[in-house]
Chain A
Amino acid sequence: MYKQWSVDLNSDAKLMPKQVESSLQPNGEKTSPISVILVSSGSRGNKLLFRYPFQRVSENTSSATSKQRSPYVLNTSGDSVEDQDGDSREQTPLTDEQLVAGFSDSILATILATKSDMCGKKFELKIDNVRFVGHPTLLQPPHTIQANADASVINCMHNLSRRIAIALQHEERRCQYLTREAKLMLAVQDEVTTMTETDGTPQSPFRQILPKCKLARDLKEAYDSLCTTGVVRLHINNWLEVSFCLPHKIHRVGGKHIPPEALERSLKAIRPYHALLLLDNEKALLAQLPLDCSPALVRLIKTCSAVKNLQQLAQDADLALLQVFQIAAHLVYWGKAIIIYPLCENNVYMLSPHANICIYSPLAEQFALQFPGHDLPSMLAKFSLPVSLSEFRNPLDAPVHEAQLIQMVVWMLQHRLLFQLHTYVCLMVLPVEEEPGLWEEEPPLVTRVTGRSLSTPSALSFGSPTSSDDMTLTSPSMDNSSAELQTGGDSPLNKRMTETLLASLTEHERQAILRVPAAQNPEDLRLFARLLHYFRGHHHLEEIMYNENMSRSQLKTLFDKFRSVLVITNHEDPIISLFQSPPD
């Protein structure tokens, strides 16, 4: 492929594979690059075009030798994940100089200018403590990363390399952008070399390149952004936009990052009854969007609210449900929103175990600024025991005050200080009467769910066509079973249905259920049988309410009637709790 390129290009600057590499920063920060390097390989040999941060030319014989870290020192970075090679140890902190300074410009040029065979694929090279990641094509920005980087961080870096490469490739084809920039860089380097020879004062050529060369500035910006916010937005040649985010930097909870795979799994499990909570205010978020972004995104941001579930949001914003799911997932991935259960009176919240409740935390300050007269720890103390929104608000307060309390709850949710508790139900009957010798053979006392699949559609499958399943949720009253069973009384059809549903249980379980006094009432028994498949502890009350179009009180009454065969517990929803707490 590159052979084709060499024909198009200027004959004296036959640009072959270039590499821009980035290296990850030392001092335990495993998700930041150490440097960004641009290397070219051409008819004039291998050349290092640009690197950032600059190498200090004066040889700082740093007496700061790498401290042998005591294994008992507090692990502050918290990112003890396995790296690509399975190394999960903490890196001993070394300064930039020691790590990448060890590599002179010329050696970098040699090792990073790969052969054509390696073009078009991910390039990865590890030398002692430094890892180089890039995408050899025409113009691959290799990134040098600390050797212990998580495999997914490496993949993300590679992704960025590739995107920059593609943009540069495009601009090269259109207007020889890269050739021009490379010429500039080499010219400045030559200039500085001659100056050094005459003056004798060593200077870094790369520092001189920066003001003259847009590409160099872009690479510097990419590096800086990756190290700080994890969000990169460049305009290559002031024309093509390259945007990228490093989820590892954005999704950090409690000092640990949420791995992208876990994030993606959670996103696929979103349901229409969930809601989207923006983490920034609407104006700030809209200001961050690029000019040519989709109007659907803008509409969605303007319409979304903490009390509206995704289904309602779709209706209000006049968008298809699937589209709403996709946009929501996008916003979550970019760290601009999280998924919650929509706010309502009966929601029960509790303090998250990972919440920072220190009085000196920056959160406390922000809260005080936002809500003068209130302090965060006192508010948080109120959620020490699970409290519902209705309890939290005092109905005797003025409405203005009430509104402010809701705002505070939203604020606390946005900053991951609270999570919501849901009720989960599990069928569990009394064991077989003990008889000597029978202990070892106790039957598993758990409901087996067979046959009947849930009416909930599988939530989100990216890119798949809208299936009719997704659409049934728009009108839950279309649920067949409830329509049928509403034909009252003891009709043989209903009776048979109940029997079928109960057939998935063991004889013992069936008997136990039938012994409950409430089972004498056919309506109650029917309802119980119909909801049986939810009683495995994996579906919370609100989900059952939504799927079966029932009210909270209806369900609670049923649970109460059959309490001798049910066990109830409250805890957070594991699907969306990912956004509140780091995974194990």
Chain B
Amino acid sequence: MGSYRRIDCIFFSEFHPTLGPKITYQVPEEYISRELFDTVQVYIITKPELQNKLITVTAMEKKLIGCPVCIEHKKYSRNALLFNLGLVCDARTKTCALEPIVKKLSGYLTTLELESGFISNEESKQKLLPILSTLLEELNVTGACTLPIDDSNTIHLKLIEQRKDPLVVQEYDVPVFTKNKDHFIKSQWDLTTQQILPFVDGYRHIQKISAEADVELNLVRIAVQNLLYYEVVTLVSIFQYSNVYCTTPKVQNLIDKKCLQEECIHYVSKLGQRTNLRDVFQLYCGLTPGTTVRDLCSRYSHQLQRVDERKLIQFGLMKGLIRRLQKYPVKVVRDERSRPPRLYTGCHSYDEICCKTGMSYKELDERLENDPNIVVCWK
């Protein structure tokens, strides 16, 4: 797991009937100084209002994450048992993934106590020390831990990576695999995903996949969004020879980064052939506003002898070397009597309009060309 989420210490703290809040066990020993504990104890063994809440306090260059528990019962001295099993990390650590673990552990201990008095019984409580040791080691090394506590109880824990929420998937988006499709064990994916996988080829858009795989549109969107979340696919736009692209500043990465050059040449070369960097770079730089892919093909036919133009565009979009210029029709003049424009507002691209209405680009072009009230913006 690396030092990214390294746990420096695991401790078990409780409210002792005579000594008050103290740390009963900690691994490694003496990690939490007296000073540190004094400063933060009010957040470890807390007032009732804060119990069962995940509390992260930062002090003295350390972050302590815990979840204080209180179990009330007459059998306890002071009628309540207060404890907290927490983790200590460096103050700069990103501890978000550790929070569910702390919560789960507090839940486990609560259950153990309620079922068999695990904590209040001095003898069984001692088992906590080796448990803490194992937890610390296994979570740091493998990110997962399975611990049998006694005959009937086992603890299962796993650190789950938190990822960014994925973008919304539109019906005119095209999913393309970022890694080789064959690397995945398909049976591990859900049924819907398995059904659409053969149609995810980097050229079919969502609507088309839905039609050809015979899966409902929203299900396809959800499945692809799931793949997006795990960064297995990325989204590009529909490919047509009439499309227009232009370079971004990132195209210079092709000059600066040797590994990108190799990857690119490998990806875009036609089967059995190998192109060279100059040809590829010239092709990308040949993409300018006003130039369609068709134009590119006729102007650079020599360079395209060994390059698959569809793969060229795909790679360029995936790596951000180029971007697509979309057309947006805007109705600028209208008389008061006509209805307000629904699609020609400047918010909907040709891709979207054609997808939604079923028209082809050519049809849409013809329709709009003859309308003097509509301007088209490219961006």
Contacts and interface: CB of A to CB of B under 8 A. Distances in A.
B330 interface: yes
Contacts of A350: 289
B362 to A, nearest CB: 19
Nearest to B46: A111
B163 interface: yes
Given A85-B56, A86-B162, A351 B378 contact: yes
Nearest to A361: B346
A431 B274 CA distance: 12
B347 A358 contact: yes
Interface stretch (A123-131, A177-185, A266-274): A123-131
Interface residues of B, number: 67
A110 interface: yes
Interface string A432-447: 0000000100101110
A87 interface: yes
A428 interface: yes
A414 interface: no
A110 B168 CA distance: 43
A574 B378 CA distance: 21
A571 B43 contact: no
B193 to A, nearest CB: 15
B342 to A, nearest CB: 12
A577 interface: yes
B255 A127 contact: no
A64 to B, nearest CB: 21
Contacts of B162: 86-89
Interface in A525-571: 536-538, 567-571
Interface stretch (B93-101, B113-121, B196-204): B93-101
Interface in B254-294: 255, 258, 261, 274, 276-278, 281-282, 284-285, 288-290
A2 B38 CA distance: 18
A500 B67 CA distance: 69
B345 interface: yes
A239 interface: no
Interface string B35-50: 1001100110001011
A191 interface: no
Interface in B24-76: 35, 38-39, 42-43, 47, 49-50, 53-60
A377 B347 CA distance: 11
A120 B41 CA distance: 19
Interface in B321-371: 323, 328, 330-332, 341, 345-347
A445 B278 contact: yes
A401 B42 CA distance: 71
A377 B330 contact: yes
A375 interface: yes
A571 B247 contact: yes
Interface in B145-203: 162-168
Interface stretch (A30-38, A75-83, A310-318, A327-335): A75-83
Given A88-B162, A377-B346, A351 B43 contact: no
A439 B274 contact: yes
A127 B50 contact: yes
Given A126-B55, A537-B255, A380 B96 contact: no
B55 A428 contact: no
B260 to A, nearest CB: 12
B56 A384 contact: no
B111 interface: no
A430 B278 CA distance: 7
Nearest to B258: A444
Contact of B38 (A117, A426, A428, A567): A117
Contacts of B341: 359
Nearest to A384: B378
Contacts of A444: 258, 261, 277
B285 A111 contact: no
A88 B163 contact: yes
Nearest to A387: B289
Interface in A361-404: 361, 375, 377-378, 380-381, 384-386
A256 to B, nearest CB: 12
B251 A571 contact: yes
A572 B246 CA distance: 11
A536 B253 CA distance: 11
Contacts of B345: 358-360
A306 to B, nearest CB: 23
B320 A384 contact: no
Nearest to B52: A128
B234 interface: no
B211 interface: no
Interface string A164-200: 0000000000000000000000000000000000000
Interface in A329-367: 350-353, 355-361
Contacts of B109: none
Contacts of B57: 124-126
A156 B164 CA distance: 23
B330 A359 contact: yes
A127 B247 contact: no
Contact of A381 (B252, B289, B330): B330
B70 to A, nearest CB: 14
A321 to B, nearest CB: 27
B210 interface: no
Closest 5 CB pairs of A and B: A86-B94, A87-B96, A384-B378, A574-B249, A569-B285
11 contacts: A72-B222, A86-B94, A107-B49, A127-B55, A381-B377, A384-B379, A426-B255, A444-B258, A569-B288, A571-B247, A571-B251
Interface of B: 5, 35, 38-39, 42-43, 47, 49-50, 53-60, 94-97, 99, 162-168, 221-222, 225, 246-249, 251-252, 255, 258, 261, 274, 276-278, 281-282, 284-285, 288-290, 320, 323, 328, 330-332, 341, 345-347, 375-379
Given A72-B221, A381-B375, 10 more contacts: A117-B35, A353-B323, A360-B345, A380-B377, A381-B330, A381-B376, A431-B276, A445-B276, A567-B285, A569-B285
